[in-house]
Amino acid sequence: MKRPDAAIVLNDGSVFEGYAVGFLPDEGVTTGEFVFNTALSGYQEVLTDPSYAGQIISFTYPHIGNYGITPLDDEAVRPWAKGIVMRELSDLPSNWRSAGPLEGFLIQHRIPAIAGIDTRRLTRHLRSAGALPGAFGHGSLDTLREAAKVAKGTDQMDYVSLVSTREAYDRGTAGPRIVAIDYGIKTTMVRQLADRFRVTVVPAHTSADEILSLKPDGLFLSNGPGDPAALAPQVETIASLVEKLPIFGICLGHQLLATALGGHTYKLPFGHHGSNHPVKDLETGRIEITAQNHNYAVSSDGLKAAHVSHVNLNDGVVEGISAPSLRAFSVQYHPEAGPGPHDARYLFDRFDHLLETGTLEAR
């Protein structure tokens, strides 16, 4: 089948040529912030992770779609990424779990994609220049260039309001009761919580008084997309609940908790996106291989009553904080790991221990 010619144009003028696959928008142009993901598998979980809202994902693994898709691997009710970039799209998936090809999934959910791209060259460029806004599609090169000039990144963007649940819902039937604030929560994250707790998942705009009215034993802060600096109301809510409830935060939840405790966040050059990032637990000396997906990170400057508990061994980025006196802790990476290794799932048990005893203890 002849595919339409397509191209990527970044807002620094760089051009990458390929062909269009997936959903073909009538205007032939899709814009967003280009990032790369280094996971070797799990493309469906990556694509449906709400934390990718506003972004275009370039997969570094050369073959995507090999094992098809299955509803069992969805991390949200729909994909939130703006589009995907591949070296090669598999037309013939082979796996006993497959319910269909990846391209059919992209068309169903109206997700544009581009293949035939030299993703190694694109990755090297993004590593040097940082995550960049841009455009891609089967529109004319002039049209793509004009769209790339005005494409937006994620700075000061609130995508949480887009991806958060509109209605509260309950999961789990046993254990302590917790409230999980949905900033873009993943399905695997909800499952890990529901295995241990009675969980009420609430929208991101839920007030502190509304949370306390549910009489929870603890508070969970989920992952999510966009710039944490754009979420001042959410930080205020967390700050008013510190000391009132034990708190566990992941990814964006980690960034918001750190901000509520006096820290601040900054944008990484190209972020951490993949399932092979080494992290050291400073309290135990244990090394974990972790799944990560974030463009922003926490600076420890100004943190009150909290200390750095985990660091990234690749670049020294803060990967976790602990505030024992406040009964609060958080990590930047994804212990639920969908996709990725399960080294860090013990952190959900650490939260359970905190709720039962009121103390934070290393594994």
Q: What is the pLDDT of residues 45-69, one digit of tens each?
A: 999 999 999 999 999 999 999 999 9
**Structural domains of the chain, with CATH:** 5-150 (3.50.30.20), 160-357 (3.40.50.880)
First to last CA, the chain: 55
Note if 336 is an active site residue: yes
Contacts of 216 (CB under 8 A, 6+ apart): 177, 178, 179, 200, 245
pLDDT in tens, 153-191: 999 999 999 999 999 999 999 999 999 999 999 999 999
Strand 287-299 relative to strand 112-115, pairing: unpaired
User: Which of the residues 138, 254, 294, 334 is marked catalytic?
Assistant: 334
Residue 362, pLDDT > 80, answer no
The pLDDT assigned to 300 comes to 86
pTM of the model: 0.96
Phi/psi of residue 327, nearest 5 degrees? 55, 50
Q: Which contacts qualify for 167-175: CB closer than 8 Å, 24 or more apart?
A: 167/203, 168/200, 168/201, 168/202, 168/203, 168/206, 169/200, 169/201, 170/198, 170/199, 170/200, 170/201, 171/199, 171/201, 172/196, 172/197, 172/198, 172/199, 173/198, 174/198, 175/352
Say how far apart CA 118 and CA 23 lie, in whole Å: 21
Q: How many CA atoms lie within 13 A of 319 on its CB side?
A: 28
User: Which of the residues 45, 251, 310, 319 is marked catalytic?
Assistant: 251
Residues 211 and 239 sit within 8 Å (Cβ to Cβ): no
pLDDT in tens, 100-134: 999 999 999 999 999 999 999 999 999 999 999 99
Residue 361, pLDDT > 80, answer no
Say how far apart CA 60 and CA 34 lie, in whole Å: 13
Note if 334 is an active site residue: yes
The DSSP secondary-structure symbol of 143 reads H
User: Which of the residues 33, 75, 319, 336 is marked catalytic?
Assistant: 336
Note if 264 is an active site residue: no
Phi/psi of residue 271, nearest 5 degrees? 75, 180
Tokens of 70: 């299955």
Longest CA–CA span in the chain (Å) reads 63
